[in-house]
């Protein structure tokens, strides 16, 4: 039974090598996976660690005891001036109605929701078509989210997490079983999550997707559960988790530590979506290897397959894709300047020869993107800085054996307004300040 609405997201953690199944239960579907690049002895050792902790894996919502609400639950912080809003029920076509009925049945069976008879807040169900053609049930919490104060709990810096997870020989990617739903709603706030269907109104007993601040609540939970492991043997970004080690025996110990932390807080994993003991994988949109960090080939191919933009929307799409790969693109701001200028124009987009030359430069570079080294303590780090009339470009490299230099990070920035008129020395100083802030 899969109640995970993230099923068709592209940025989930996953291995990059082949994996082989390990039977974990009586049913054929009760399996987990390990990498293929390991000896039989290593495979058996990892399998034994997983089997010894079989109680931590859920195959059904009834297998989840849930996080102790005294430890953490999700609370809504609603503005005192806010007045409850009950949305009028929207009509749905028959196919959507049938899908809603099925999903509500699953949620009731899992005891994630309960029927409500009197409510002041009321939201509609929204059905979204997934990439596999099936429907995903969401709730339109627009009105409720508008009056909820923002939880400013800080999310981790993605670059630091990627740096921390790269350069390790052994990785395990973990996935929680319907993770958000393992956190209970505060009893006083359950009624505020009520949604309307054809037959009844229901509210969530557990934390649903779609509510404001649920990501912050989940990150707070992860930081509390894995306070001893984060940064040392694992990295966590909301519900993306990777366990990292430099040798196989340490990896087994690190997994045991993580399992013990999960057990203390009654958190359950989705064994079918976990992969143990691999040499690399995708994490937060980056490809992690023991030798360093590589660009996501799917993101590179998306740009290589693009035709020259002819509309503002297509230019915006190209700019967004380039930004997601900025760490791997030297002099991005300088080369992309003709393209970025199109975003400031209100009239029809005019794709010039200069724009096309910039576009082709990016395609050429992304056909063979650089491998970025993991910054290592004890090695000299060198920053090279280049300035032009409209941009600042920086590359940080580290000197390795025989004096060879390997890139660690590319940074660039477009100069705005008065900074265009800075003298060369002022631009250099600005570049140093910008690089120091980004790389500290």
How many other β-carbons are positioned within 10 Å of the β-carbon of residue 343?
12
Q: Which residues lie below 8 Å from residue 390, measured CB to CB, with a gap of 6+?
A: 333, 334, 337, 414, 415, 420
Per-residue model confidence as pLDDT tens digits over 181-232: 999 999 999 999 999 999 999 999 999 999 999 999 999 999 999 999 999 9
Query: What three-state secondary structure class fits 34?
Result: strand
Instruction: Give residue-wise pLDDT tens across range 58-109.
Output: 988 888 999 999 999 999 999 999 999 999 999 888 888 999 999 999 999 9
Asked if residue 35 lies in contact with residue 278, where contact means CB atoms within 8 angstroms, the answer is: yes
| % of the chain beyond a pLDDT of 70 | 96
pLDDT band at 3 (very low <50, low <70, confident <90, very high): low
55 pLDDT higher than 60: yes
Outline where 149-296 has alpha helix (H).
158-165, 214-225, 248-264
pLDDT at 345: 74
Mean pLDDT of 343-352: 83
Q: Which domains does the chain have, with CATH numbers?
A: 1-285 (3.10.10.10), 294-367 (3.30.70.270), 381-439 (3.10.20.370)
Q: Which of 212, 266, 270 is closest to 239 using CA atoms?
A: 270
Q: Measured between alpha carbons, how far is 176 from 270 in angstroms, rounded to an integer? A: 5
* Torsion (CA) 237, 240, 245, 249 in degrees, nearest 10: 140
Q: Are 266 and 66 in contact (CB under 8 A)?
A: yes
Q: In the prediction, which pLDDT does 8 show?
A: 46
Segment 407-415 mean pLDDT = 91
- The tens digit of pLDDT for each residue in 284-309 reads 989 998 888 999 999 999 999 999 99
Q: What is the mean pLDDT of the chain?
A: 90
Which residues lie below 8 Å from residue 343, measured CB to CB, with a gap of 6+?
Answer: 312, 315, 316, 319
Give the global pTM: 0.86
Q: What pLDDT score was predicted for residue 1?
A: 44
User: In angstroms, what CA-CA distances link 379 with 166, 373, 402?
Assistant: 17, 12, 12
Q: What is the pLDDT of residues 226-275, one digit of tens each?
A: 999 999 999 999 989 999 998 888 999 999 999 999 999 999 999 888 99
Could you tell me which residues come within 8 angstroms of residue 100 by beta carbon, excluding any fewer than 6 positions away? 92, 125, 127, 137, 197, 198
CB 242 within 8 Å of CB 234: yes
Give yes or no for residue 347 having a pLDDT over 80.
Answer: no
Contact 171, 280 (CB under 8 A): yes
Q: Is the pLDDT of residue 115 over 90?
A: yes
Asked if 148 and 174 count as a contact pair (C-beta separation under 8 A), the reply is: no
Which two structure tokens, joined as six digits, stand for 234? 């694992």
pLDDT of residue 15: 66
What's the pLDDT at 320? Answer: 94
Reading phi first (left if > 0) and then psi (alpha if -120 to 50, else beta), residue 9 is in: beta
């Amino acid at each position: 039974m899969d109640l995970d609405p993230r099923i068709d997201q592209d940025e989930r953690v996953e291995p990059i090598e082949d994996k082989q199944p390990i039977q974990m239960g009586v049913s054929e579907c009760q399996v987990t996976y390990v990498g293929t690049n390991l000896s039989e002895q290593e495979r058996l050792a990892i399998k034994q660690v997983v089997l010894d902790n079989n109680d931590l894996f859920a195959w059904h919502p009834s297998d989840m005891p849930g996080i102790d609400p005294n430890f953490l639950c999700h609370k809504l912080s609603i503005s005192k001036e806010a007045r409850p809003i009950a949305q009028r029920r929207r009509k749905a076509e028959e196919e959507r109605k049938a899908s809603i009925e099925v999903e509500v049945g699953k949620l009731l069976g899992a005891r994630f929701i309960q029927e409500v008879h009197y409510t002041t807040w009321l939201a509609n169900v929204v059905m979204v078509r997934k990439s596999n053609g099936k429907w995903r049930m969401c709730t339109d919490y627009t009105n409720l989210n508008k009056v909820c104060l923002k939880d400013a709990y800080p999310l981790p810096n993605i670059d630091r997490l990627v740096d921390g997870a790269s350069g390790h020989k052994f990785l395990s990617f973990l996935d929680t079983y319907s993770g958000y739903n393992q956190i209970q709603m505060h009893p006083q706030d359950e009624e505020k999550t009520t949604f309307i269907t054809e037959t009844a109104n229901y509210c969530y007993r557990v934390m649903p997707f779609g509510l404001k601040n649920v990501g912050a609540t989940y990150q707070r939970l992860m930081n509390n559960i894995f306070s001893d492991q984060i940064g040392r043997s694992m990295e966590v970004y909301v519900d993306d988790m990777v366990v990292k080690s430099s040798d196989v025996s340490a990896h087994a110990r690190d997994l045991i530590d993580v399992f013990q932390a999960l057990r203390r807080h009654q958190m359950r994993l989705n064994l079918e979506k976990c992969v143990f003991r691999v040499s690399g994988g995708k994490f937060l949109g980056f490809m992690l290897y023991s030798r360093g960090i590589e660009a996501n080939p799917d993101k590179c191919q998306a740009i290589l397959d693009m035709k020259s933009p002819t509309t503002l929307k297509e230019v915006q799409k190209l700019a967004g894709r380039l930004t997601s790969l900025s760490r791997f693109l030297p002099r991005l701001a300088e080369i992309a300047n003709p393209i970025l200028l199109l975003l400031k124009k209100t009239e029809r987009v005019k794709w010039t020869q200069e724009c096309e030359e910039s576009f082709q430069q990016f395609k050429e570079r992304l056909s063979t993107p650089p491998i970025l080294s993991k910054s290592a303590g004890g090695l000299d780090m060198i920053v090279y800085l280049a300035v032009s009339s409209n941009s600042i470009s920086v590359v940080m490299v580290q000197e390795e054996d025989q004096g060879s230099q390997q890139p660690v990070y590319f940074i660039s920035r477009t100069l705005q307004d008065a900074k265009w008129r800075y003298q060369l020395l002022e631009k250099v100083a600005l570049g140093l300040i910008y690089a120091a802030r980004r790389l500290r």
